[in-house]
Amino acid sequence: MTPSIAEVIRTVALQKHYQRGAELVRALRGVDLVIGRNEYVAIMGPSGSGKSTLMNLIGCLDTPTAGEYILNGQPVSGLDDDQLARIRNREIGFVFQTFNLLPRSTALENVELPLVYAGVARAERRERATRALQEVELGDRLGHRPNELSGGQRQRVAVARALVTHPSILLADEPTGNLDSRTSEEIMTLFGRLHAEGQTVIVVTHEPDIAEHAERVVVLRDGLIAEDRWQAGRRGSTDEARTPVLHEV
């Protein structure tokens, strides 16, 4: 396995500045980060350290002020809005803190939505969305609307929606922020299972308990990476081959 194939995300001196009135906010001040295929990374850091900003850039919801972002070997910087939308549709699966399900649509319709934008035909959409919901153990809740589901169930619908297009990355920003600890554990177990099945997972969190589940922890402080460590006991033997990827940057 060569590094270029194993690597999903590579950022080079990534910067993001915001103008807030007269003040220039440097949310990211030069982030170099490489994430390989099937890694499970937790991004931590205090509030305002730039976690969400980094997530938005990785998720192609936003473009950097400076620096480069290469997703699956393709530089994202020069892409226009429609191309970014296409990448979000195909390569990224978002899970949000507040679930962000469409309230008037059923679980099935919510999960079908990315496939609608992918141009998948109705029958196939149905089938794939149903399967995705079955994978998160909601096969019996297809016709339920979000307000008829518990918080944990809603977040699992969101996970199914994120995964239905088979994206390269599952991106979750504080996915357990609105859940109680038991449900949080349930979602994190689900993430662990997805990771074991080969999914690349990136979770933003400020809770150490949640970060525990990841095999690698990246800590941001003031828009820079302050710490990047592998967690003991979370990694298998094959992961050794990927370690150099991190340090080649």
Partner 1 sequence: MELREAIRVAFSMIRAHKLRAFFTILGTVVGVTFLIAVITLIKGMDAYMKEDFAGRIYGYNTVQLRRNSSGPSFGPPSEEERRMRRRRPRLTFEDAEWLRARMETPGILAISSMNNGQVQGPGGRTLENVTVNGASATYFQMRELELEEGRPYAEHEAVRGVPVAVIGREVADKLFDGRGALGRTVRIQGIPYQVIGVLEKQGTLFGFSLDNVVIAPARSPVNGFVNPYNVVDEISFKVPEASLIAPAMGEMEGLMRQRHRLRPLEPNSFELETAEASLGFWDKISRMMLVALPGLVGISLVVGAVVIMNIMLVSVSERTREIGVRKSLGARRRDILLQFLIESGTLSGVGGVLGILAGIGLAALVSAISPIPARVAPWSVGLGIFLGVGVGLAAGVYPAYKAAQLDPIEALRKE
- Catalog residues that contact ligand ADP under the rule CB under 6 A: 18, 20, 25, 27, 45, 47-53
Asked if 52 interacts with Mg ion (CB under 5 A), we say yes
Q: What is the dihedral of CA 21, 22, 28, 29, to 10 degrees?
A: 180
Closest approach of Cβ 51 to Mg ion, in Å? 5
Q: What does the alpha-carbon distance between residue 215 and residue 14 come to, in Å, rounded to a whole number?
A: 23
59 vs 152, which CB is nearer to partner 1? 59
Out of Mg ion, ligand ADP, partner 1, none, what residue 111 binds, judged by CB under 5 to 8 A for its kind, is none
Out of ligand ADP, Mg ion, partner 1, none, what residue 82 binds, judged by CB under 5 to 8 A for its kind, is partner 1
The residue count for binding Mg ion (CB under 5 A) is 1
3-state secondary structure of 176: coil
3-state secondary structure of 182: helix
3 vs 48, which CB is nearer to ligand ADP? 48
Closest CA to 207 of 184, 225, 233: 184
Q: Is 63 exposed, middle or buried (0-12, 13-18, 19+ CB in 10 A)?
A: middle
Touching partner 1, residues 220-239 (CB under 8 A)? none
Touching partner 1, residues 90-109 (CB under 8 A)? 90, 94, 96, 100-102, 104-105
DSSP state, residue 240: G
